Copies of this chain bind each other. A is one copy, B any other.
Amino acid sequence: MLIVKTIAEARRIVWRWKAEERTIGLCPTMGYLHEGHLSLMQASVRDNDITVASIFVNPMQFAPNEDLTKYPRDFERDCKMLEKEGVDMVFAPEPSEMYRDDFCTFVDMTVVSEGLCGRSRPVMFRGVCTVLTKLINIIYPNRMYMGKKDAQQLAVVRRMVRDLNFNLKVVGCPTVRESDGLAKSSRNTYLSPEQRQASRILSRTLRHAQETIAAAGIGQGGGEAGADGAGSAGAGLSSADMIARMEEELRTEPMADIDYVEIVDGLSMQPVQTLHEGDLVAMAVRIGDTRLIDNFIVGDPLIEIGE
């Protein structure tokens, strides 16, 4: 497995692969890998001749008050895990290699990036779009693999690729969970044992919402009541009611501090009045200082929460 630190060397290697007409899958990460990341690698190894993983804790997507410096890192462990998955190249540049002192270009987005996590983390998606544009221009992937756990990020990147005509396919991979339902995240490492226990409230609340939605016959391939007009009986589940229920359940956990619970269109990330297949039900919740996110798409399989 090649470990590459500079853009120039990455380009040289990638262009050799391109000349040989090999397909390339890119899995962008911030390192400190868990099974969620590895599932991206597995998908890429399956679909492409070459798999490139990037490890870059991107300063541009952290606000000054966020956890850039304490973000967990373990490059050697990461490399061992990636090698085992059959990754061909790790691209792990220093921040100074990616951003010169006079760097001043940004890829930015409105609409899709503005609700949900974009509200409490306004610089994040600018950072994500900018660094991914750079990585795409360095690695020229045929496919790029991203986790569905970061649902808004996935929607933002799909929109960026469409709007700016990047010539690649964005592949969303299912959220990987702990046995009790907690979505895998590098930030889970911040949790104390008590906080870890409390964090189960996220996936439980989502699972219960899934059950409610399924019981209403929504998201089961056309089982909806159909009529969408206001006031018509059986016009479906109101988002506001669903959100209120979910917030109520989250508040049963005293350690949980709700950042948001939102229900939005799966592509545009704009709030919806009533629930339909393909909508995103998403939340961000602070447990102590740690901000956790989780979500499902209406119509997805039920989340396994153990017990």
Interface residues of A, Cβ cutoff 8 Å to B:
7, 11, 100, 102-113, 129-130, 133-134, 137-138, 159-160, 162-167, 268
Interface pair A137/B167, CB less than 8 Å apart: yes
Max chain B Cβ within 10 angstroms of own Cβ: one of A7, A106, A113, A162: A106
Max chain B Cβ within 10 angstroms of own Cβ: one of A110, A133, A159: A133
* Chain B minimum-CB-distance residue to A107: B107
Instruction: Write the nearest CB–CB distance from A264 to chain B, whole angstroms.
Output: 14
Q: Of B103, B104, B138, B163, which is within 8 A of A104 by CB? A: B163
Interface pair B106/A107, CB less than 8 Å apart: yes
State how many copies of this chain the complex holds: 2
Interface pair A109/B105, CB less than 8 Å apart: yes
Interface pair A105/B134, CB less than 8 Å apart: no
Given A104-B111, A108-B108, answer yes or no on A133-B167 (Cβ-Cβ < 8 Å). no
Instruction: Write the nearest CB–CB distance from A8 to chain B, whole angstroms.
Output: 10
* Chain B minimum-CB-distance residue to A130: B164
Q: Of B11, B105, B108, which is within 8 A of A159 by CB? A: B105
Instruction: Write the nearest CB–CB distance from A20 to chain B, whole angstroms.
Output: 13
Interface pair B107/A159, CB less than 8 Å apart: no
* Chain B minimum-CB-distance residue to A126: B108
Interface pair A103/B167, CB less than 8 Å apart: no
Interface pair B166/A104, CB less than 8 Å apart: no
Chain B residues, Cβ within 8 Å of A268: 102
Given A137-B166, A164-B134, A164-B137, answer yes or no on A108-B105 (Cβ-Cβ < 8 Å). yes
Instruction: Write the nearest CB–CB distance from A153 to chain B, whole angstroms.
Output: 14
Given A165-B134, A165-B137, answer yes or no on A111-B107 (Cβ-Cβ < 8 Å). no
Bound: A108/B129 CA distance, A: 12
Interface pair B167/A105, CB less than 8 Å apart: no
Interface pair A7/B111, CB less than 8 Å apart: no
* Chain B minimum-CB-distance residue to A18: B18
Bound: A162/B100 CA distance, A: 10
Bound: A102/B162 CA distance, A: 11
* Chain B minimum-CB-distance residue to A11: B167
Interface pair A138/B111, CB less than 8 Å apart: no
Instruction: Write the nearest CB–CB distance from A70 to chain B, whole angstroms.
Output: 28
- What are 5 residue pairs bridging A and B, where the CB atoms are less than 8 Å apart in the complex? A105-B107, A106-B107, A108-B108, A130-B164, A134-B164
